[in-house]
């Protein structure tokens, strides 16, 4: 069996030990290296070529943001960010890490006593396995050329010509969405609807982040809202998002399709 080779990066020896002990509870993992700062993480990534990097963000010498950018530019590797700063600084650091090339951002895991796995440890190991299989590519930051200008969106208001682009994205999707958006003109003659696999409560933050970074308008979809060209609509977590014959957004809580529909968000209006 080919084991998943993991590099653990954190300036705290205790946190590294906790992450390593959790990984050691699953025989599919093999920890092949430890680093205490971003600079060392880059060097080890180049030398040992791990299948997955579990990395903190705030470290001495070189922080995780700089390390993610360098690694994804020169030695593309799946990166899971585990940081205590998530609760302290909010969602903005998550989207910054994702933009630089990380695949997911979570709170630092905690070790349960005994040899068995706690539910949180099980979730952590499942996520690590899933991310280790993601085929990542070089992520070199730079300005994308604007596409040639399109006719004004109002010219496409007729129902016979109205266009909708549907996008479904899993782990790693936010950075791909940003990559796509930065190449689209603000007068795009189509509406874009997006279902993104993302943690509970992060869909509105994702929409705000993309709206700030792109030329198109990006927002979280709302019940009964009419789709307009030149706008991207992010589905809220926990619901199927549909578009009816009147080009309006409809939500429902039907069973998942092919195992996908995030857990229901409390308090969000249904269909």
What per-residue confidence (pLDDT) applies to 256?
Answer: 61
What per-residue confidence (pLDDT) applies to 113?
Answer: 81
Q: How confident is the model at residue 243 (pLDDT cuts 50, 70, 90)?
A: confident
User: Looking at the predicted structure, is the pLDDT value of residue 160 above 50?
Assistant: no
Neighbouring-strand partners of residue 232: 192, 218
Q: Are 156 and 190 in contact (CB under 8 A)?
A: yes
What per-residue confidence (pLDDT) applies to 215?
Answer: 79
Sheet holding 4-9, edge to edge: 29-35, 4-9, 52-55, 79-82, 104-106
H helical segments located in 49-189: 64-74, 85-89, 92-100, 119-132, 173-181
> Higher model confidence: residue 255 or residue 231?
231
Instruction: Tell me yes or no: is domain 4-132 CATH 3.40.470.10.
Output: no
Averaged pLDDT for residues 148-168: 54
- Specify the DSSP class assigned to residue 1: -
What per-residue confidence (pLDDT) applies to 65?
Answer: 93
Q: What is the mean pLDDT of the chain?
A: 81
Q: How confident is the model at residue 53 (pLDDT cuts 50, 70, 90)?
A: very high
Query: pLDDT by residue (tens digit) across 79-104?
Result: 999 998 877 777 788 888 988 889 99
Q: Using CA atoms, how far apart are residues 229 and 192, in angstroms rounded to an integer? A: 8
146-155, 212-221, 254-263: least confidently modelled range:
146-155
Domain spans of the chain?
4-132, 153-252
Helix, strand, coil abundance in the chain, percent, nearest 5: 35, 20, 45
What per-residue confidence (pLDDT) applies to 3?
Answer: 94
> Higher model confidence: residue 59 or residue 262?
59
What per-residue confidence (pLDDT) applies to 174?
Answer: 81
For 153-252, the fitting CATH number among 3.30.70.3190, 3.40.50.10470, 3.40.50.720, 3.40.50.180 is 3.40.50.180
Q: Using CA atoms, how far apart are residues 127 and 13, in angstroms rounded to an integer? A: 23
What number of helices (H) and strands (E) belong to the chain?
8, 11
Phi, psi of 135 (to 5 degrees): -85, 100
User: Looking at the predicted structure, is the pLDDT value of residue 265 above 60?
Assistant: no
Averaged pLDDT for residues 48-69: 94
What per-residue confidence (pLDDT) applies to 86?
Answer: 76
Neighbours of 28 (CB within 10 A): 13
What per-residue confidence (pLDDT) applies to 159?
Answer: 42
Phi, psi of 256 (to 5 degrees): -60, 150
What per-residue confidence (pLDDT) applies to 210?
Answer: 87
CA angle 64/70/71 to nearest 5° reads: 85
Averaged pLDDT for residues 178-184: 81
What per-residue confidence (pLDDT) applies to 14?
Answer: 95
What per-residue confidence (pLDDT) applies to 214?
Answer: 81
What per-residue confidence (pLDDT) applies to 51?
Answer: 96
Query: pLDDT by residue (tens digit) across 61-81?
Result: 999 999 999 999 889 999 999
């Amino acid at each position: 069996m080919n084991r998943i080779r993991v590099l653990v990066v954190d300036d705290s020896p205790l946190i590294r030990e906790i992450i390593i002990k959790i990984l050691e509870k699953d025989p599919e993992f093999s920890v092949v290296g430890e680093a205490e700062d971003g600079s060392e993480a880059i060097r080890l990534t180049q030398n040992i070529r791990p299948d997955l990097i579990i990395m903190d963000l705030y470290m001495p010498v070189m922080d995780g943001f700089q390390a993610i950018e360098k690694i994804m530019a020169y030695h593309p590797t799946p990166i899971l960010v585990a940081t205590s700063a998530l609760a302290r600084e909010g969602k903005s650091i998550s989207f910054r890490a994702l933009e630089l090339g990380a695949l997911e951002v979570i709170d630092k895991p905690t070790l349960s006593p005994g040899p068995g796995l706690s539910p949180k440890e099980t979730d952590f190991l499942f996520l690590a396995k899933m991310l280790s299989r993601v085929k990542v590519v070089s992520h070199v930051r730079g300005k994308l050329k604007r596409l040639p200008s399109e006719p004004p969106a109002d010219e496409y208001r007729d129902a016979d010509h109205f266009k909708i682009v549907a996008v479904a994205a899993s782990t790693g999707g936010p950075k791909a969405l940003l990559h796509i958006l930065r190449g689209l003109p603000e007068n795009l003659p189509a509406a874009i609807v997006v279902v993104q696999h993302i943690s509970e409560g992060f869909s509105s933050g994702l929409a705000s982040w993309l709206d700030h970074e792109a030329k198109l308008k990006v927002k979280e979809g709302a019940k009964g809202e009419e789709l307009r060209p030149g706008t991207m609509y992010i589905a809220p977590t926990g619901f199927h998002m549909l578009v009816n014959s009147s080009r309006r957004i409809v939500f429902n809580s039907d069973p998942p399709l092919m195992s996908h529909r995030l857990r229901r968000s409390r308090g969000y209006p249904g269909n």
